[in-house]
Chain A
Amino acid sequence: MAKTKLTDISKNSEKELLQISADDLPPLPSGCGGGEEITPLSEDNKKEWEHCLDGISALKLPRPQNKEEEDKLVRSFLEGVEKLLTKENNWTFLLPLMHTLESCGKCLACSDACPVYEMSGKQDIYRPTYRAEVLRRIVKNHTTRGKALFPGFSEGKIELNWATVARLAELSFRCTICRRCAQACVRGVDNALITHELRKVFSQQMGITAEVLHEKGTVQQLNVGASTGMNKMAFLDIIDFLEDEMEEKLGRRVKMPMDKEGADILLIHNSGEYLSWPLNPVAFAIIFELAGIDYTLSSELGGYEGTNYGLWYDDLQFARIVVQQIQVAHKLGVKKIVVGECGHAHKAMIVIADRLLTGETIIPRESCFPLLEEIVFSGKIKFDPGKNDFPVLLHDPCNVVRLMGIVEPQRRILRHIAPQFREMNPHGVDNYCCGGGSGFATMSPSKAFTDWKMAISGRKKVQQILEAFGDELGPGKKNFVCAPCSNCKGQFRDLIEYYDLEKKYGIYYDGLVELIVNAMVDIKEPYIEWGGM
């Protein structure tokens, strides 16, 4: 395999730096997969979109028509990088960014921590340090504010041209920002933050980002109510429908309280749950009703969508969504917000938003997992763990676990209600990303990108799952991956289909609350619907 040099990023924008071959990818256990080729872009798409990084397009970045256009974009990028170094424009992450730019020892110890790098067959361009080092050299060689005294001596050189910018744009969408590399770095260098900051330059300065994150993501959420495009009327219709459906399934009507002023809790789910995994919000409703929790859902703009795609690419869009969500809680007069099973909504609303809020706008925001644990062990609901007597494997969403330290509540629940609960290796804060992090689970801009996130970014997780279930695997078996995060579930859904994991190995997936309800003595029929998840 030919080495790709750092300086290659600036060379010949007509040529792809890397062409991934199925032969490069590490084999998976249990005879899974093999021959995962990346579908090439069509000739029309190649003419239209930049693809000079690896032949894949995540951004559908239009190719400039002439040199003037290229130069203008390069200037705009450089202006953006300059702004990244100022407190007025980037007070949000200036300190960790500067530390990361100044402190890398170039030891490459972070490379092996990265599942994308490892499962791509160790392709140089996917190293956590590759994009970081390119940005570092740009800052030290080409900016006014960050220029080094002797950049060629202390940093190494890099040419800044359209090829560099176009490849960096795509490269910022080949990292799931799982921050496993940051955990591996002794000096505290955070290469995942570099991905985040690069995405910000492209979005905040140049208006370039993945359509599904911006136009169809945050913009739609702010204006319509949800990144799924679900407006208030549609949401209320779905709730009615779910209440009716569940009455049929359970033989009792479970009420999902709506816009109840003064409730103790405002429960916010990822709106994708209502559309793709409706058993999840219904399971919450069953558990909360039986436990006597005083809660409400909200049908207000900002009240029924927990996602915040701004977390992955744009500080302002992030802040706008936070403000909208917090306003709903204040309007309802609830005591706190509880976030449902959505990892990035957890991280966004509970942690990152924390230092955006001031004085009376602050309202307690908590994870659903400690509350669920409290309920499960309260004795208010009777469980028969025998109803969950099948292998259950817990996936740790990066945002909830490595980035928030919520590790044990979900495990204590599973140990209590799932007799065959088991762990992946590694797990907890050392877990591997599902491969759908940082927006990838929702992004399918091209078949090439979808193939990439299945064959490469999700490959490590498939390997882990197969190894953890081991001898339990086989057609007709029931192996359950508990993935308490909407984005992770989206990725699992696609991975299971891509690798045919359900049919060949009997691997299914769903959230935590579905397992809780499945184990309830009061729920007579199995709650989990095996097959077609």
Chain B
Amino acid sequence: MEYAALIITYFAYVFVVVVYTIKVRKYFKMPQSLRWELYPVIHEKGYKYGGSYLEEVDWGKKPRHKNVGRSILHLVAKYLLMGSYFEKKRSYWFGLYSWHMGFILIILFDVLIGFEAVLMKIFGLEVSASAGVFGQFLYYITLVIGLASFTLGAIGSILLLLQRIFDKDMREYATPQNYVNYIFFLVMFLSGWTAWIINDSTFHGFREFWVGVITFQPVHVGFWEWLHIVIFAAFLIYLPLTRSTHYITKILYYFWIKWGDTPNPGKGRMEARIKENLNYRPTWSADHYQNGETWAELATRIPGKEEPEK
């Protein structure tokens, strides 16, 4: 049983990293898109009302204002507060916010436990209610984050499940996976609660387990704690198979597309990527496409005229 938990944990972490990397790499390998920005663009000077550099005469000759830091903060706030849902669909926000906070906190909980295990193993740090200041701090913060995650995640799962069942519009768009997600994640959060109540009110067993993960040594933990460890690993394996990639691709989409207002300088990497695009040979079948020619050739030839225009 101890070995099973250890092996599935190793597998889960390798799997989640590999699959996300493959999925996100696909986006990095995509060709340079045409511009398709949508205002407000947060790095722009006039972002408060949605203004852009295109509001200026001869903008190409002037230095560009671009506050990337503001964009990053804006995105972080979006992730943490989900304010747009609060404004646009409040009934959904309550469940969704709890749910997402449950995810963020459970991953933070896992990271903290792992971090504490490292400190325990390497520096002999004690993490408990009676330890030194730092050890106590870690103990209590982990306790709060863990319990908050189990609570919020469970509440969110239940609220979203109920909303999908009783809101007839949302039910129409729901897929079987939506329901499986809510139930599976509810079980995961509840297993955390159960482990805390029955097996380990200090989460020390989790720390010991992670010392074992670091040292490749199986560690015995209580059954409910073991069950939560296995379910959490299964959650990590399942996660990349859901739409969760949007957590990462959304960042790329915001910077490359929605806020992607960088003008074409006519040189450098963008120029090279555009030239590469123009050399692709489309295979569309409509009459106004002539197969075999590149985009550049097609764009400079008007059907009916003999020679491409220079």
Contacts and interface: CB of A to CB of B under 8 A. Distances in A.
A292 interface: no
A362 B268 CA distance: 14
Given A95-B256, A404-B39, A87 B85 contact: no
A87 B278 CA distance: 11
A405 B39 contact: yes
B212 to A, nearest CB: 33
B89 interface: yes
Contacts of A336: 58
Contact of A187 (B88, B246, B256, B270): B246
A350 interface: yes
A9 interface: no
A188 B55 contact: no
Interface in B233-278: 241, 243, 245-246, 249-250, 252-254, 256-258, 261, 263-264, 266-267, 270-271, 274-275, 277-278
Interface stretch (A176-184, A248-256, A273-281, A384-392): A176-184
B2 to A, nearest CB: 32
A161 interface: no
A494 interface: no
Given A109-B89, A204-B289, A89 B282 contact: yes
A517 B2 CA distance: 84
B78 interface: yes
Interface string A388-425: 00000000000001111111110000000000000000
B253 A87 contact: no
A319 interface: yes
A402 B55 CA distance: 13
B31 to A, nearest CB: 4
Contacts of B92: 107, 109
A406 B57 CA distance: 11
Interface size class of A (residues with CB under 8 A): 35 or more
B299 A359 contact: no
Nearest to A130: B173
Contacts of B49: 407-408, 428-429
Interface stretch (A52-60, A98-106, A495-503, A507-515): A98-106
Nearest to A182: B38
A314 B49 CA distance: 32
B26 to A, nearest CB: 8
A408 B178 contact: no
Contacts of B32: 91, 355
A143 interface: no
A355 B264 contact: yes
At the interface, is chain A mostly helix, strand, loop or mixed?
helix
A429 B50 CA distance: 6
Given A96-B257, A186-B78, A223 B304 contact: yes
Interface string B190-207: 000000000000000000
Contacts of A223: 302, 304
Interface stretch (A149-157, A437-445, A477-485): A149-157
A406 B54 contact: yes
Contacts of A405: 37, 39-41, 44, 46, 50-55, 261
Contact of B55 (A102, A182, A190, A406): A406
A403 B38 contact: yes
Nearest to A204: B284
Interface stretch (B144-152, B164-172, B217-225): B164-172
A91 B277 contact: yes
A289 interface: no
A102 B243 contact: yes
Interface string B289-309: 100000100111110100001
A471 to B, nearest CB: 27
A96 B253 contact: yes
Contact of B285 (A105, A183, A205, A371): A205
B288 interface: yes
Interface string A68-112: 000000001001100100011101111110110011111111011
Nearest to A5: B172
Interface string A5-30: 11000000000000000000000000
A111 B63 CA distance: 39
B52 A3 contact: no
A316 B54 contact: no
A504 interface: no
Given A108-B170, A153-B175, A92 B34 contact: yes
Interface in A432-480: none
A193 B34 CA distance: 12
Contact of B173 (A80, A108, A320, A362): A108
B278 A358 contact: yes
A129 B59 CA distance: 37
A358 B39 contact: no
Given A358-B278, A366-B57, A429-B49, A106 B253 contact: no
B229 interface: no
A270 interface: no
A186 B82 contact: yes
Given A87-B30, A153-B177, A355-B274, A370 B55 contact: yes
Interface in B91-120: 92, 96
Interface of B: 26-27, 30-41, 44, 46, 49-60, 78, 82, 84-85, 88-89, 92, 96, 168-170, 172-178, 180, 241, 243, 245-246, 249-250, 252-254, 256-258, 261, 263-264, 266-267, 270-271, 274-275, 277-278, 280-289, 295, 298-302, 304, 309
8 closest Cβ pairs, A-B complex: A405-B52, A429-B50, A91-B31, A319-B299, A103-B246, A106-B173, A405-B39, A204-B284
